[in-house]
Each structure stands twice: as structure tokens, then as C-alpha cells.
């Protein structure tokens, strides 16, 4: 991303998203960096940098997505990079389902709301900011477990299926953007298993060399993003640049 003067990191309150913010500021990748968070105690809000503009966002509320788009538009007419790092696998009230008997409607819908619907509504409201003549990126963090072809282990019904839906949403966005903002490259990314709150309860069987620090993940994903070309729009990439089967 040689020219990425104005960027937006969504879900930057912790984990990989916060890692992107730190890296963008350290490596001077953005003149202006918008970053969203939910928790007012987030370490994001302790970063003091005139380039950084923090905006509160719960992605399950479309009015909030629209509001941040308006706030950004009032200050910047273009975005060059959007990286959406929002995702939920577990929280204090839910665990990924190991079998059919654990399924319930409310939990399944919550996975879809956070992991799939939020991302496509973000693509809806950010579209005007990507309508310009320079290369731009809309990247959304997905997960390899969302690959239907790669699913050999089963389990994690809601998380898996919501990431599959995310991949389909963003592929469809890529097709529409080809007409409406042809310079925008839309991809989903598998970050690899990364040491964050999201993966913490499930790290036991992960060999140390396969458990990345957020910083390493961010560097690897930026290498992938830097090499993307227009023909890559609509594809699903792993952290090493390889393509993941749908
Ligand atoms: N870590 C891994 O091994 C791994 C592997 C594959 C894919 N991924 C994907 O990578 C992405 C980043 O995950 P991570 O590892 O960095 O996890 P994380 O540290 O738990 O971060 C998840 C982020 O999503 C935000 N979020 C959750 N629900 C939200 C909502 N309703 N509205 C707005 N923001 C919300 C969280 O905000 P709060 O800080 O407010 O909770 C947090 O910033 C996710 O999409 C995840 O599925 C991660």
C-alpha cells in the first residue's frame, strides 16, 4: 500500500485490529487513521497521536455504522484502506457449539449479526468513500474454518457458517464494487491462529510456531495486502498469500 493516506481500522479496541493501528502509526502508513472501538477502557484510547481518530462502534447497529461513515465523510472525502477486524467466537455468555445439541437460535443469530451482517453493512455505508480513482482496499478478517471445502473437523456451527456467509457477502460486494468503485479491491483474509482473547481458550493444541503474535499477524497480512492487484478482488487469502478454497 504505497499510498494509503486515509485509513479505517474497524474493531481496533484489542487483538489484531489494535495491532493494525499500532503498525500503521509506527510505519507512517496513514496521514489520518480512523479506528473504531466499543470498550471505553480500551488501550486504543490511550494512544496519543494527532493522526488517530477513535470512533465508538457496535457493528450490530446499522445506525452507528452510518454515523461513523458520516463522521468520516465530514473530515475526509476518500478512504484508501479499510480493514475490518471485528469478530466473535466466544464471550461471557456463549461458547462455540461442539454439537447439534448446543445450538440455539439466539446464539446462531448473534454470530451472523457480528461476523457477517456487520461487514456487509460496512461495505454499504463506506462505498461512497471508496469511489475514487486510486487503488484502495476493503479487507475483512474471516477465518479458514469458514471454508466449506476445508471443513473436516465439524463443530463451531455458528462461527463457521457466519464466516462462510461473510465470504459470500464480500465476494458479492466485490462484484458490485467492480462497477461502482472499480479501483477498490475487496478481499477476505485468514489471519492464522493469533494469540488474542478470541483464540485464548483454544490454543492448547496449537504448536508454538503456529501461534502468531498479533504483531506478526499484522505484518504478514500487510504483506498480502500490499501485493494485491485488481484481479484479486473477491478472493479469500490466507496469511501467507495462498488462496483458501471456498
Ligand atoms: N485470533 C485468531 O486466532 C483468529 C483466527 C482466525 C480468524 N480470526 C478473526 O480475526 C478477527 C480479529 O480477531 P482477534 O483475534 O483480534 O480477536 P479479538 O481480540 O477478540 O478482537 C475482536 C474484535 O471484534 C470486536 N467486536 C466484537 N463484537 C463486536 C461488535 N458487536 N461491534 C463492534 N466490534 C465488535 C471486539 O471489540 P471489543 O474489544 O469491544 O470486544 C474486538 O475489537 C476476527 O474476525 C476473528 O474472527 C482470528
How confident is the model over 137-167, as pLDDT tens digits?
999 999 999 999 999 999 999 999 999 999 9
Q: Is the C-beta atom of 199 inside 6 A of ligand 1?
A: yes
pLDDT in tens, 117-135: 999 999 999 999 999 999 9
How many degrees, rounded to 5, is the angle at CA 191 between CA 153 and CA 163? 55
**What is the rounded average pLDDT for all residues in the chain?**
96
Residue with CA nearest ligand 1 atom 3: 193
Determine the Cα–Cα distance for residues 110 and 129; give it in Å rounded to an integer: 28
Instruction: Decide if pLDDT at 5 tops 90.
Output: no
Give the ligand 1 atom nearest the CA of 89. 47
Q: Is the C-beta atom of 146 inside 6 A of ligand 1?
A: no
Residue with CA nearest ligand 1 atom 20: 198
Say what the pTM is. Answer: 0.98
pLDDT in tens, 186-223: 999 999 999 999 999 999 999 999 999 999 999 999 99
Give the ligand 1 atom nearest the CA of 212. 3
Edge to edge, what strands does the sheet with 184-190 contain? 52-56, 32-37, 6-10, 81-84, 136-141, 184-190, 236-238
Q: Which of 3-7, 32-36, 76-80 has the lowest mean pLDDT?
A: 3-7
Q: Which fold has domain 6-238?
A: Rossmann fold (3.40.50)
Please classify residue 178 by burial: count the beta carbons closer than 10 Å to its beta carbon, then call 0-12 exposed, 13-18 middle and 19+ buried.
Answer: middle
Amino acid at each position: 500500500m504505497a499510498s494509503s493516506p486515509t485509513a479505517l481500522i474497524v474493531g481496533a479496541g484489542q487483538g489484531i485490529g489494535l495491532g493494525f493501528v499500532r503498525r500503521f502509526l509506527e510505519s507512517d502508513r496513514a496521514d489520518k487513521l480512523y479506528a473504531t472501538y466499543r470498550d471505553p477502557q480500551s488501550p486504543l484510547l490511550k494512544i496519543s497521536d494527532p493522526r488517530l481518530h477513535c470512533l465508538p462502534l457496535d457493528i450490530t447497529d446499522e445506525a452507528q455504522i452510518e454515523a461513523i461513515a458520516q463522521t468520516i465523510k465530514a473530515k475526509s472525502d476518500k478512504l484508501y484502506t479499510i480493514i475490518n477486524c471485528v469478530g466473535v467466537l466466544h464471550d461471557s455468555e456463549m461458547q462455540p457449539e461442539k454439537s447439534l445439541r448446543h445450538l440455539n437460535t439466539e446464539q446462531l443469530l448473534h454470530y451472523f449479526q457480528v461476523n457477517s451482517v456487520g461487514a456487509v453493512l460496512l461495505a454499504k455505508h463506506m462505498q461512497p468513500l471508496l469511489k475514487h480513482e486510486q487503488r484502495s482496499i476493503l479487507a475483512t478478517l474471516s477465518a479458514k474454518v469458514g471454508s466449506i471445502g476445508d471443513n473436516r473437523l465439524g463443530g463451531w456451527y455458528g462461527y463457521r457458517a457466519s464466516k462462510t456467509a461473510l465470504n459470500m457477502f464480500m465476494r458479492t460486494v466485490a462484484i458490485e464494487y467492480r462497477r461502482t468503485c472499480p479501483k477498490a479491491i475487496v478481499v477476505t483474509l485468514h489471519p492464522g491462529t493469533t494469540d488474542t482473547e478470541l483464540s485464548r481458550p483454544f490454543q492448547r493444541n496449537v504448536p508454538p510456531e503456529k501461534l502468531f503474535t498479533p504483531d506478526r499477524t499484522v505484518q504478514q497480512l500487510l504483506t498480502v495486502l500490499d501485493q494485491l492487484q485488481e484481479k484479486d478482488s473477491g478472493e479469500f487469502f490466507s496469511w501467507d498469500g495462498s488462496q483458501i478454497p471456498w
